[in-house]
Structure 1
Amino acid sequence: MKDAAFGLVLALQFLTRLPLPFACPWTPATRRWAVRCYPLVGMLLGGLLATAALLENLLPAPLLALALLTLWVALSGGLHLDGLMDVADALGSNAPLERKWEIMKDPHVGSFGILALVFLLLWKAALLFVLLQAGASLLLLVMILGLGRFSAVALLVLAPAARPEGMAASWKRDLSPRDLWLAALPLLPLAALVPGGVWLCLALAPFLMLYAWGMLRAFKGINGDIVGTAIEGGELWLLLVAWSWWSFVTG
């Protein structure tokens, strides 16, 4: 159980900006547990957002949606957004493979990265607004952020690393399909409780397959930026699915 506790702390330290000043051992066991805890961390972040959303009586819906999105970005420190911009710049370059990798490593942000960031945040804010306006269950946020990080687990377990070094390769080491199933465990009871939760789980599959196919075709493997982009893209897709389900099934 000590390895599991260390793994949870590692996942929180890596995926969030929550203050946890603990030094955890970096071993195969703690790495595995950290990846298994990714969805659990997402559920925690979603719970914080859902709690903040209870301020709906104090703020009009547009301001509340913007406040929630600001908190959403702040809790993760923009980590995944940075990866999104790097991937967008590399894809937008239409350059040969090696040049794409150079662009992804470049600390400067290009026009494609800025456009991707702006439109992703605009779409997230708009979808948060319409969900709030529709009176959707706030537990959807817990489900969406948990499933978004499950996307990262799926890529780390199932997709090949593009390079033997780097963040993704270090996290991938020693993982197996069993870790994917263990990561899904906390999401299963929640899916049964949240209105539309089962539909969100089912809708994640085509996104993951299409995203993985596109990334492997473009980059021949994954890295940390590609994994982070899967989280951001998965969250946006699930927000859209949640709005569609809530509007057309319960509306």
Structure 2
Amino acid sequence: MKDAGFGVLLALQFLTRLPVPLSCPWTPATRRWAARAYPLVGALVGAILAAAGMLLEEMVPLPLLTLALLSLWVALTGGLHLDGLMDLADALGSNAPLEKRWAIMKDPQVGSFGMLALVFQLAWKAALLWALLAAGASPWWLVPVVALGRLAAVGLLVSQPAARAEGLAHAWQQSLGRRDLVLASLPALACLFFVPGMGWLLAWLLVGMAGFVIIYGRAVRRAFGGINGDIVGAAIEGGELWLLLIAWSWWSFVMA
């Protein structure tokens, strides 16, 4: 159980900016438990966002509430996954040969395609958050959205090869198998019991996320030969946006 505890703390350290006043060992066992805890950490981030939404929704106008939640969302993750999205956008936008795309992705400077990706990602997230809240959706629906976004990362690590035998993605993969993906799915399934009114929406979110992982995984494998840390981080951002779109569609057309 000590490995499981350290794994959860590693996931917190890696995926969020929440303070963890411990030095956690980096071993195959703790890496495995950390990956299993990705959706659990996502659910925690979603719960913090939802609690903030419930606290502020009667105090501030909807536009300010939307901006506050999005700002908190970025602050809790430290913009880590947005950084991966920008690196991926710069590499793809360059239309360069494979080795040049890898060099662009590793470059710490952000190019024009990365900035465009950042702007549109945040704009679409803000618009969908606003639309969901305006339609009367509970902020607690953010819990499965953020949790499943992290489950997408685990799905990629299990289903797609690392492009190169180096980096964090390759290190995580050495400890993971399909059983770990199943265990990582449990926090998302728990939303059926702890998040009111989820029911069929959660089923659609799970199906939508599975489809996203398959399509995105094939696309990046064709473009880069496999995955790396930036590609996994971009999948979390893209997955969250896709799930927000599914949730808005459900609320607008099914629940209306």
1:32 aligned partner? 32
- 1:171 is the counterpart of 2:172: yes
Q: CA offset at residue 191 of structure 1? A: 3.6
Q: Deviations over 1:66-103 (max 9, x none)?
A: 10000000000000000000000000001000000000
Q: CA offset at residue 187 of structure 1? A: 1.1
Q: CA offset at residue 217 of structure 1? A: 0.6
1:209 to 214, 231, 247: 214
1:249 aligned partner? 254
Trace 1:1-251 onto structure 2 (pairs within 5 A).
1-54=1-54, 55-191=56-192, 193=195, 194-195=197-198, 196-251=201-256
Moved over 6 A (4+): none
Q: CA offset at residue 47 of structure 1? A: 0.0
Tell me the number of residue pairs that the alignment of Structure 1 and Structure 2 aligns: 251
Matched-pair contact (CA < 8 Å) for 1:127–1:243: yes
2:104 aligned partner, one-letter code: I
Q: Output the CA distance in 2 between the equivalents of 1:110 and 1:84.
A: 12
Q: CA offset at residue 207 of structure 1? A: 1.2
2:110 aligned partner, one-letter code: V
Which ranges in structure 2 are unaligned for 5 or more consecutive residues? none
Q: CA offset at residue 189 of structure 1? A: 2.5
1:219 aligned partner, one-letter code: F
Q: Output the CA distance in 2 between the equivalents of 1:206 and 1:30.
A: 29
User: The residue matched to 2:57 in structure 1 has which SS?
Assistant: helix
Q: Output the CA distance in 1 between the equivalents of 2:141 and 2:204.
A: 11
Q: CA RMSD for the aligned pairs?
A: 0.9
Q: Output the CA distance in 2 between the equivalents of 1:129 and 1:18.
A: 26
Task: Return the TM-score normalized by structure 2.
Answer: 0.96
